[in-house]
Amino acid sequence: MVKRIIILLVIVFFAIIIFPLLKVDPTDSLSSLATKYIRDGADELGSANLVTSIVVTYRGLDTLGEVAVLFIATAGVGFLLRKKKNSSANKRRKSSEILSSGTSFLVPIIFLFGVYIFTHGHLTPGGGFQGGVVIASGVLLLMLSDVSLKFNHFLLSAIESFSGFFYIIIGILGLFLAGGFLDNRIFSLGTFGNIFSAGAIPIIYSLLGIKVGSELVGILGNLRDSE
C-alpha cells in the first residue's frame, strides 16, 4: 500500500515538472545561441549540413566525450566477455541459402552506403556515428550468414586506436593553426557544397566513422565469441 502511494506521488511529481514544458513551443522562436549558429554557421565553417558543423566543431568536445563513452563501453564488454570458446563454430547450424545469397549481394552495398554517409557528413544528413553503425550492421549480416567468420581483434583495436589518436591530433592541430581545439579551419574551407570543403570536417567524420564501426564490430564479435 505504502509502495503504491509512493509510486503515485512520484508520478504526480513528474507530471508537475513536465506539464509546464507542454506550453513551450520550440518552433516558435530560436534562442540567441541557435540564432547565431544558423546565421553564421555556414559562412564560418563552410559546412552545408548545419547539424554537422554544430556536432563536429561548435560542440566538438561533446562529441569527443561521446566517443570516449563508446570506447569505455567497448573496453568493458571486451573485459567482461574475454573468455574464448574454441570449438564454437562447429556446433552451430549453417545459415540458409536465401540469407547467404542475400548477404553476398547486400554487404558491399551496405559498406559503400556507410562510407558514403560518413564522407558526406558535411553535405547530407548523417555523419561518423551513423556511417559507423551502418558498417557495423553490414558486418552483423556477415556474421549471421557465415557462422565461422573470424575476427582479428588485434587489427580491430589497432584501427580503432589509430583513428582515435588521429582525431585527437587534428583537434590539437586546431589549437595551434586555427581558433581552438577541434576547429575545422586548419585546412582551407573550399567551395561551399563540394565534397572537399568544410576544412577538417570530412577527415574528422571519416576517422569517427572508422572508430565507431570498429568499436561496434568489436562488441558484436566479443558477444558472439564469448563463453
Partner 1 sequence: MITIIVIVLGLIMIIAAFLAIYQKNLVAAVISAGVISLLASILYLLLAAPDVAMTEAAIGSGLTTVVFLYAISKIKKKDGE
Residues linked to residue 226 through DSSP beta bridges, in sequence order: 84
**In this structure, are residues 131 and 213 in contact, taking their beta carbons and an 8 Å threshold?**
yes
Does 216 bind partner 1 (CB under 8 A)? Our answer is yes
Which range of residues in 32-40, 61-69, 135-143, 194-202 is near partner 1 by CB under 8 A? Answer: 135-143
Quote the least distance from Cβ 70 to partner 1, whole Å: 11
Is residue 34 within the footprint of partner 1 (CB under 8 A)?
Answer: no
Q: Of the ranges 4-12, 29-37, 99-107, 215-223, which one interacts with partner 1 (CB under 8 A)?
A: 215-223
Interface residue with partner 1 among 89, 140, 173, 203 (CB under 8 A) is: 140
Rounded to the nearest angstrom, the gap between the alpha carbon of residue 139 and the centroid of all alpha carbons in its chain is: 15
The alpha carbon of residue 125 and the mean position of all alpha carbons in its chain are separated, in whole angstroms, by: 13
Q: Give the Cβ contact number of residue 25 at 10 Å.
A: 7
Binding residue for partner 1 (CB under 8 A) from 136, 156, 200, 208? 136
What proportions of the chain, in percent to the nearest 5, are helix, strand and coil?
70, 0, 30
From the CB of 10, what's the least distance to partner 1, in Å?
17
Cα gap 166→129, rounded to integer Å? 16
Interface with partner 1: number of residues (CB under 8 A): 18
> Residue 156 belongs to what H/E stretch?
helix 153-177
Please, what's the largest Cα pairwise distance for the chain?
Answer: 67
The C-alpha atoms of residue 186 and residue 198 are separated, in whole angstroms, by: 10
Q: Pattern 93-132, binding to partner 1, x per CB under 8 A?
A: ------------------------x-------xxx-xx--
8 lines the binding site for partner 1 (CB under 8 A)? no
Task: Please tell me whether residue 134 binds partner 1 under the rule CB under 8 A.
Answer: yes
Candidate segments 9-17, 152-160, 194-202, 219-227, binder of partner 1 by CB under 8 A: 219-227
Rg (alpha carbons) of the chain, rounded to whole number: 22
Instruction: Check residue 56 for interaction with partner 1 (CB under 8 A).
Output: no
The grid coordinates listed for 66 are 561521446
DSSP 17-28: HHHHHHH--TTT
Sole binder of partner 1 in the list 137, 151, 166, 168 (CB under 8 A) = 137
Name the residues that contact partner 1, by CB under 8 A: 51, 117, 125-127, 129-130, 133-134, 136-137, 140, 216, 219-220, 223-224, 226
